[in-house]
Amino acid sequence: MYTLLLPILVPIMMGILLFILPEPKNRKNLLLYTGIILIFNGILVLRAVFSSVETFTLFSLHDQLSIVFKADELGKIFAVAVTIVWILAGFFAFSYMSHEKNEKRYYAFYLIVFGVLIGLDFSGNLITMYAFYEFMTLCSFPLVIHNQSKEAIMAALKYLLYSFFGAYMALFGIYFMIKYADSSVFVPGGAFGTVENQAFLLIVVFLMILGFGVKAGMFPVHGWLPTAHPVAPAPASAALSAIIVKSGVFAMIRVAYYVVGPEFIRGTWVQTVWLSLALITVFMGSMLAYGEKVFKKRLAYSTVSQVSYIVLGLALLNPIAMTGSLLHVLAHAFIKCTLFLVAGAIIFKTGCTRVDEFRGIGKKMPITMWCYTFASLGLIGIPPTGGFISKWYLATGALDSGIKIFNFLGPIVLLISALLTAGYLLPVSINAFLPGEDFDSKNVKKCEPDKYMLIPLIVLTVLSVLIGLFPNFLIQYFTNLISGLM
């Protein structure tokens, strides 16, 4: 029991303790405290991932209202992604946050959200998942509003309102899911038996998918994402884009594959609308990113598009596409975290926020911009990066789905989006490294960030490439997981 509870409770309790303690006189003590908790909890998460803890109930308010935890295969995948990104983005913040106010508050909530996310991943039923899903919104809200500017306050309120709207749609569905499910815990392949009122339940399922789609940035409930990302500190933006949005994806998987089951949705209007919204979001996000000049906002629109690659794979309801979705969960987490941290490094060292200000910056920050370039290649889907492997499986899964229109429309939209992604990412690298003959490179002074920024960037970049170079273990792992879901 404690194997699963400790990685949830330790960062939450330590974050609360940090919040109520007085401001430390020495900033190094604050960083040491935060770093130790991050690493220690990473060890606790890995211990839980490699353990064989059975499902356990923490307490019950009612026969159908129980807080249940279980570290199943899906939860372990997301917990590992959370841990890697959270630790690396946390260490990046040690330098970045030195020019921000209220550092103690930032690290306090950063630790709390870490524990809440692990609780979400290790949730064993809908009630537990919903509780931690709501906690995640409330605890990540201070990360968005951190600098307390007018823009940050408005963006944070928008994030809160969108999130609550989506969560309440999901809660409406949970009332009915609990009634019709044959099990009070998540069951691979679905817990629905023979049900009446199928037409009504399809509406309920769709509302849940749309509600959880808020966090995933799915059209038409994506509006919070490009507003919240640019105003948050860069490490928080990286966490939001790489991990927080995946909570919506995680919840969708639980509903579609562990509660109602793929057979309940396959061939219905819910699948058709789900696929349509995913494709619209993929294309729309890429188009908006292509026309955006503010770097962090461009990356935020990119997240809108790229996360819907994952949603598309889920909605196709076939093993190949599902494998692509899970691969893209990891690949996108590492890639997008890299890109937002690069944005933070550039802002920290130069103050530049617009892509038209990045001319020649590759001469000043070569390691940083090489990390950006390799991550960009992964997001486009160029081999040998992880993004290529995941998108290959997504496109192949769409072709193999046999769903009229979508079996060819899916790969077409993915290809168009990849071209647009190249159009809004690669020119930044070209202008950074090849600024033109009129650029005075003789007086350029190197201004690379320190090791707390560079090491996370390098590690994340390497991970995004390794997924593409050595994908077989992950593919086999995901295949075994998916075989029990279909």
- Per residue in 336-349, pLDDT (tens digit) is 999 999 999 998 88
- DSSP-derived pairing of the beta strands 56-62 and 65-69: antiparallel
- What is the rounded distance in angstroms from the CA atom of residue 392 to the CA atom of residue 327? 10
Query: Cβ distance 337 to 88 under 8 Å?
Result: yes
CB atoms closer than 10 angstroms to residue 2:
10
Note the Cα 410 to chain centre separation in Å: 22
Give me the mean pLDDT over the 182-194 stretch: 73
pLDDT more than 70, % of the chain: 96
pLDDT of 440 above 70 = no
Give me the mean pLDDT over the 247-253 stretch: 94
pLDDT of 437 above 80 = no
- Average pLDDT over the chain reads 88
Give the per-residue pLDDT at 193. 65
Name the pLDDT band for 89 (thresholds 50, 70, 90).
Answer: very high
Task: Pick 435 or 315 by higher pLDDT.
Answer: 315
Segment 265-312, tens digit of pLDDT:
988 999 999 999 999 999 999 999 998 898 999 999 999 999 999 999
Query: Cβ distance 330 to 243 under 8 Å?
Result: no
Give the per-residue pLDDT at 57. 77
Give the dihedral of Cα atoms 472, 478, 483, 486; nearest 10 deg: -130
pLDDT of 51 above 90 = no
Name the pLDDT band for 35 (thresholds 50, 70, 90).
Answer: very high
- What is the rounded distance in angstroms from the CA atom of residue 460 to the CA atom of residue 337? 8
Could you tell me which of 117, 342, 388 has the C-alpha nearest to residue 245? 117
pLDDT more than 90, % of the chain: 49
Give the per-residue pLDDT at 442. 64
Task: Pick 419 or 436 by higher pLDDT.
Answer: 419
Give the per-residue pLDDT at 102. 84
Return phi, psi of residue 61, to 5°. Answer: -90, -20
Name the pLDDT band for 317 (thresholds 50, 70, 90).
Answer: very high
Give the dihedral of Cα atoms 260, 264, 266, 271; nearest 10 deg: -60
Give the dihedral of Cα atoms 296, 240, 468, 83; nearest 10 deg: 140
Query: Cβ distance 251 to 312 under 8 Å?
Result: no
Query: Cβ distance 250 to 120 under 8 Å?
Result: yes
Tokens linked to 136: 């995640």
- What is the rounded distance in angstroms from the CA atom of residue 221 to the CA atom of residue 223? 6
pLDDT of 359 above 90 = no
Interhelix angle for 295-316 vs 386-400, to 10°? 40
Name the pLDDT band for 365 (thresholds 50, 70, 90).
Answer: confident
CA-angle at 189, arms to 65 and 66, nearest 5°: 10
Could you tell me which of 172, 206, 175, 66 has the C-alpha nearest to residue 125? 66
Name the pLDDT band for 63 (thresholds 50, 70, 90).
Answer: low
Give the per-residue pLDDT at 195. 66
pLDDT of 23 above 70 = yes
Give the per-residue pLDDT at 313. 94
Give the per-residue pLDDT at 82. 95
pLDDT of 40 above 80 = yes
Give the per-residue pLDDT at 86. 95
Segment 374-403, tens digit of pLDDT:
999 999 999 888 889 999 999 999 998 888
Return phi, psi of residue 365, to 5°. Answer: -130, 65
- What is the rounded distance in angstroms from the CA atom of residue 209 to the CA atom of residue 271? 10
Give the per-residue pLDDT at 475. 92
As a residue count, the chain comes to 486
